[in-house]
Structure 1
Amino acid sequence: MGKRVVVGTATDWDSERRLTAIARQALSVPARTALAESQIEADTTVLDYGCGRGDDIRALSELGVQVRGWDPVYFPHGERDPSDVVLLTYVLNVIEDSEERARALRQAWDLTKRVLIVSTRLDWERRRVVGEEFSDGVLTSRKTFQHLFAVHELRRYVQETTKARCVSAVPGIIYAFRRDSDRLAYLARRIIPDEKWQESHDPTSAVSAIVAFAEQRGRSPKSEEMPEHILDSLGNLKHKELQRLIRAAVDSQQVREGAKRSTLNTLLFLALELFNGRGRFSSLPVAVQFDIRAFFTSYTEACRRADRLLLKLRDDSYVRAAMRGSRAGKLTPTSLYVHQRAIDQIPTVLRLYEHCAAIAAGRPATWNIVKLQHEGRGVSWLDYLDFDADPHPRLTSSYTVDLATLKTRFTSYLRCEDRPLLHRKQEFLAPEDPDAAKYWRLTRAETRAGLYANPGLIRTEQGWEAELRRCGRQLRGHRLIRRREE
C-alpha cells in the first residue's frame, strides 16, 4: 500500500505502508499453510492481492502454480482477475483507515471464486512492535502502522465483512469459503484423513486395494470414490463377482472396527459442522454422504446423534467422566494432557472439544501435547522441543483458547532461562505406542534413584539438573547412569 496522509485525533502523519513489505527468501506462512492443506494445488488459480515485493508469486510459480499478483506500490499494473484462491497476506494490519481496511477485504472477497485466505499479525506480537498507540493500532518510528488483531477478532471481522462462514486454519490465518461444499470438504479432511489407495496394475492388486479400504472404512467403496487406476485395473470384472471376492478376502473383525471408527468420525464431523454452521446433505463430501447412508438410518438421525454429542460437551460431569475413562493421556485434578499421536484414541466428545477450539481460534502449526481443561472450557496446545529424542523435553511455547470467550493467549519460552520440562513421557501416550515401553523403563529407573522425591523441585530445567546432581545421576539418551566425577 502507498503513502497516505491520515488525520488523527491529535496530529497528521504519513503512513509509509511500502516499508512493511518485507523481502522473503521462502514462501510466507499463509502460502505454506494453504499448500500443506491442499487449498493451493497445481491446477489452482491464485491471486496475491497486495503482494508486496512478489516473493510468494515467484515461489508459487516455481512450484507450477498459476499465480498472479497486484500491489499498489510494487505491482500497480498487475492483473486482478477473479481466481480460485485469493491471498490477502498481512495487508489488513497495515491499513490505518478502518473504512479502507474493510474496503480492501471486500475487494479481495469479490475476486475470490473458491477461498479467500486472510492473514494478519496478532496482538501477542505487541512487544515486538515499537511505537506509540494511535487510533486502533500502533504508529512506529518508521512511520508504519500496525493494527494487531486478536485471534477471535480477526475471524469475526472476516466473517462479518464477507458474510461467509469462516474457519481458523492456524492462529492469524482465516479461510473464507465461497461455497459450503468447499468449507465442509476442508473440515472433513481435518477429521477424516484422505484414503491412501494401494497401487494396482491388475485385477488382483485392485481387489486387494479395495479390501484394504473396506477394512479401514468399514464398508466397500463406491465407484465414485475409487481412483482411476483402480477402476482401470478392475477391467471387465462384474460387480457381483467383485463383491464376492471382497467378502471372501476381508477380515470381518477389522471391518467391524472400521465401521465403528467411521461412525464416530462421522458424528464428530457433523457435530463440528453444527458448531461452524451445518449445510445441506448434498453439500457434504461424497465420502461422508456414503458413510451416512452406510452407518445411519438417515441424515436426520445422524444429525440428531451429533447434536446430542455437541450438547454433552457442555456437561461438566460427562466431560470429566470421559477424561477418567480415556485410554490415553495424563489426567490431573484440572485437565487431561494427550500427545498428538494419541489424540485419536481419546473419547469422541474430547476429540470434538479439541476440534471446536481449533476451528474457532486455529490450531498452532507446531505442537505435540494438547491440554483439555475439565474445569471450565479451555484448550492449550503445548510444543515441547524434540519430544521423542529428549528424555525430558523443554517447553518452547503454549497457545491457549478459552472457549467461553474465544480469547487466546500465546506464551513463548524460547528466551526463558529456566524452562518447564516434561517427566514420565509415557503417560501422555496410548499404551500401545511403540515408544511407551522405553519411556516406562526410564521412569522406573528415575523413581528408584529418588529423582521424584521432591516433585516441586523438578518442574524446570535448573531444578531437575540440581536433583540429578543430588542423586549422583546423569542421562545418556533414555538411560539413567551414574554421574561421572567432574
Structure 2
Amino acid sequence: MVQQTWHSDRRLTAISRASLSVPARQAMVDKQVLPGLTVLDYGCGRGGDVRALQQLNFRAVGWDPFYQADTTLEPADVVLLTYVLNVIEDPRERRKTLQEAWDLAGTVLVASARLTWEKSKVKGEAFGDGLLTSRQTFQYLFGASELRAYVENVTGVRTVSAAPGVVYAFKDDRARLSYLARRIVPDAEWLESEDTTSAIAAVIDYAERHGRLPRMEEVPQPMAELLSHLRPNEIRRLVRDSADPRKIEEGVKRTTLNTLLFLAVELFNGRGPFSSVPLGVQLDVRAFFSSYKEACQRSDRLLLKLRDDAYLRGAMSASAVGKLTPTALYLHQRALDRMPTVLRLYEHCASIAAGRPQAWTLVKLQYQGRAVSWLDYPDFDTDPHPRILSSYQVELKTLETSHTSYTESRNRPLLHRKHEFLTPEDPDVARYRRLTAAEVRAGLYEYPHLIGTENGWEAELNRCGRALRGHRLVRAHRDE
C-alpha cells in the first residue's frame, strides 16, 4: 500500500523540448503571445519553451522549483502553466499552484494539462486521485471540460478552451470576447496601401466585405494617416460611387449572421453588457440591428434551435456544402464558413467547451446525440483516398470527450468522393469529381460496404483491375 506521505519526484516529469510545446504554439497562433509582451513559463522544467520563445525574439523567462529556482518571480503579461497541474499529487497544492500562476498573469493565463484519453500511455497504480507511475512520478489526467471548469473555479473568470487540454483565462473579460470574435470572424487582411488612392481602394474593399464603412479606429494606423486629409463625407461619397452594390449587400448579410453567431456563442460562454463587446461588433450591432437587445434576442433564438432535431436536420439537408449521411454532416475545414449559421454555432459551441484540435481536416456534426468530431486526414490534398490519422469528439450534452488514434491501425478507414466535402467553388473539386466518376464507371462502388477501409478498397481495386496514379484511375498491369 502506498503511503499518503509519499511525495513524487517531479523533476523526472520534465522533458527536453526541441521545439515549442503544443500550448505555447497554440498561444502564438491565437495571438496571445505577441512581440512586446512579457511571458513567464511558470514551472518551466528544463526550459525548452523559454529558449524557443527567446530565439523567436519574445521576452520570455522561466521559473521552476528544481531547474530555474533562481529566477525572480515577477508578474508577466502572459503566464504559461504547461502540463504542471498533472504532476502535483496534493490537490490543495495543485489548486494553490494554479492560483499563484493566475496571480502572476497580467493579461492571460494559458493553462494546459494531459487528458484522460492518454490513460493508456500512463502505466501505474492508483494513488490519491491519480496514478503513481513506475518512475515514482504522479499523473492526474483531466477531462477536457473538467480542466476548463477547474480553471474557472480557481480563477473566478469565464474561460475558453483553445485546444484539447489548453485553456485561456483572461484578466479582462473584453480580451476574452475579442478572442472569441477573432475565432468566429478571423481578422481580414487589409489591402496594401502606399498612397491615398490605394488606401481608398482598401476602404472600398472593406466596405464590400463587411457591408459598412469602417470607423477610423478600425483602420490600420498607416492607412489612417494616408486618409487623414479627407473628410468623412468625402470618403463616404467615394465608397458609394465605387463600391459594388451587390457585394455590399452580401457583406451586410454575412456580417449580420456573423454578429448573431458571436452573440449566441457569447451566451453559451456567458454574455456580458454591450460595453464589453469588441468595438467592431458594437459597430456591427449599431449598423445592422435596431438595438443590442434585438440582436441578443435573435441570437438567443438561434441558440435554442440547436435543441430542435427537426430544425437541425433541416439545416443539414439544406446546407450547400458537406456530405450528408443518415446520422451526420461531414465537411472540410475549407468549407466551414459556408455552413448555415446554426451549424456554425453547433461547431463553435463544441470547440469553446472542449477545444478544437490543432490538426484536423473534416468536421462531423452528428444529427442525433449532439456530438461534434474533428477528423484528421493529413494527406487529404495529395492522396486520392486519404487515411484517417485521429479523431477527437465532444458530446455537447455531457461535454465528455474522446480521442482515437489510428497510428497503429493496419486497416484504417479512408475517404471516397472527396469533392462532396468541399464547396463547389473549391479549385480541387473538378479534379476530385472526375476521379469519382471514373471509379463509378469502373464498378468500384458496386459494394459500398466493402470499400470503407484500406484492405477492402485494395481488394476492390484488384477485382476491377484498376490502380491509382495520383488522382487518375488507370488499368492495372497484371503484375501489380
Shorter chain as denominator, the TM-score bin is over 0.9
4+ runs deviating over 3 angstroms: 8-14
In structure 1, the residue matched to 2:18 is: 25
Superposed, 1:113-132 pairs within 5 Å as 113-132=106-125
Is residue 2:110 matched to residue 1:148?
no
Give a deviation string over 1:384-433, Cα, whole Å, max 9, x none. Answer: 13101110000100111000100011000011000000001111111222
Letter in 1 for 2:291: S
Partner of 2:8: 15
Correspondent of 1:345 among 321, 330, 338: 338
Amino acid at match of 1:52: G
Q: Where does residue 38 of structure 2 map in the other structure?
A: 45
Cα distance in 2 between the residues matched to 1:457 and 1:26: 42
| Residue of structure 2 aligned with 1:266, choices 259, 265, 268 | 259
Q: Within 1, Cα distance between the matches of 2:162 and 2:66?
A: 29
User: How many residues matched?
Assistant: 479
Residue 454 of structure 1, CA deviation? 0.8
The one-letter amino acid paired with 2:323 is K
| Aligned 1:156-195 pairs, distance under 5 A | 156-195=149-188
1:432-443 equivalences under 5 Å are: 432-443=425-436
> Given residue 331 of structure 1, which amino acid in structure 2 is its aligned partner?
L
Matched residues in 1 for 2:216 and 2:346: separation? 34
Task: Report if aligned partners of 2:7, 2:89 keep a CA contact under 8 Å in 1.
Answer: no
Q: Which residue of 1 aligns with 2:409?
A: 416
Contact 1:120 1:173 in 2 (8 A): yes
The one-letter amino acid paired with 1:104 is T
* 1:352 CA displacement: 0.1
Amino acid at match of 1:147: Y
**Structural mapping, 1:204-353, within 5 Å:** 204-353=197-346
For residues 190 and 11 of structure 1, the distance between their equivalents in structure 2, rounded to whole angstroms, comes to 44
The 1-side partners of 2:427 and 2:107 are apart by 42
| Deviation, structure 1 residue 14 | 4.1
**CA displacement 1:325-347 (0-9 Å, x = unmatched):** 00000111111111111111110
Asked whether the equivalents of residues 9 and 135 of structure 1 are also in contact (C-alpha less than 8 Å), the reply is: no
User: How far off its partner does 1:202 sit?
Assistant: 1.5
Residue 354 of structure 1 pairs with residue 347 of structure 2: yes
* Structure 1 residue 162, shift from structure 2 partner: 1.0
Kept after mapping to 2: 8 A contact 1:68/1:79: no
TM-score (norm 2): 0.98
Match of 2:439 among 435, 446, 451: 446
CA apart distance, 1:35: 0.6
Instruction: State the SS of the aligned residue for 1:279.
Output: coil
Q: Could you tell me whether the CA contact under 8 Å between 1:424 and 1:439 is conserved in 2?
A: yes
TM-score (norm: length of structure 1): 0.97
1:87·1:117 contact (CA, 8 Å) conserved in 2? yes
Tell me the amino acid that sits aligned with residue 248 of structure 1.
Answer: D
Structure 2 counterpart of 1:66, one-letter code: R
What is aligned with 2:64?
Answer: 71
Task: State how far apart, in whole Å, the 2-side matches of 1:195 and 1:188 are.
Answer: 12
Matching residue of 1:5: none
Task: Find the partner of 1:474 among 450, 463, 467.
Answer: 467
2:99 aligned residue: 106
**Deviation at residue 137 of structure 1 after TM alignment:** 1.0
Question: Any conservation in 2 of the 1:216–1:254 contact (CA below 8 Å)?
Answer: yes
Structure 1 residue runs of 5 or longer lacking an equivalent are 1-7
Q: Give 3-state SS (helix, strand or coil) of 1:13's partner.
A: coil
The CA distance in 2 between the partners of 1:46 and 1:224, in whole Å, is: 28
Contact conserved, 2:40 with 2:78, CA < 8 A, in 1? yes
My pick for the range that moved more, 40-49 or 231-240, is: 231-240
- Report the alpha carbon displacement of residue 210 of structure 1 after superposing the two structures with TM: 0.3
Match of 2:190 among 193, 197, 204: 197
Which residue type is aligned with residue 419 of structure 1? R
Structure 1 letter corresponding to 2:178: A
Q: Distance in 2 between matches of 1:447 and 1:153?
A: 47
Q: CA deviation at 1:237?
A: 1.7
Aligned AA (1:161): V
More divergent stretch after superposition (13-22 vs 304-313)? 13-22
Describe the superposition over 1:262-299 as per-residue Cα deviations: whole angstroms up to 9, x where unpaired: 00000000000000010111111111111111111111
Distance 1:297 1:11 in 2: 62
1:153-202 superposed Cα distances (whole Å, 9 cap, x missing partner) = 11111111111101100000010111110000000000111121112122
Kept in 2, the 8 Å contact 1:340–1:369? The answer is yes
Question: Which deviations, in whole Å up to 9, do the C-alpha atoms of 1:96-117 show, x marking residues without a partner?
Answer: 0011000000111111111111
Q: Distance in 2 between matches of 1:398 and 1:275?
A: 24
Aligned position for 2:364: 371
2:39 and 2:80 in contact (8 A); partners too = yes
Inter-partner Cα distance in structure 1 for 2:139 and 2:2: 17
Preserved contact between residue 184 and residue 258 of structure 2 (Cα < 8 Å): yes
Structure 2 distance, partners of 1:105, 1:11, is 22
Q: Secondary structure at the match of 2:119?
A: helix
The 10-residue stretch of structure 1 (445-454 or 74-83) with the greater mean CA deviation from structure 2: 74-83
Letter of the 2:303 partner, please give it. L
| Aligned-partner Cα distance in 2 for 1:58–1:385 | 29
Q: In structure 2, how many angstroms separate the alpha carbons of the residues matched to 1:157 and 1:331?
A: 37
Distance 1:363 1:330 in 2: 21
Q: Distance in 2 between matches of 1:14 and 1:116?
A: 27
Higher mean Cα deviation, 408-417 or 231-240?
A: 231-240
Q: What code does the residue aligned with 2:390 have? A: S
CA RMSD of aligned residues (A): 1.1
Counterpart CA distance in 1 for 2:7 and 2:212 is: 64
Residue 10 (structure 1) shift: 4.7
Distance 2:334 2:34 in 1: 27
- SS of residue in 2 equivalent to 1:313: helix
The SS at the match of 1:87 is strand
Paired residue for 1:404? 397
Deviation at 1:95, TM superposition (A): 0.2
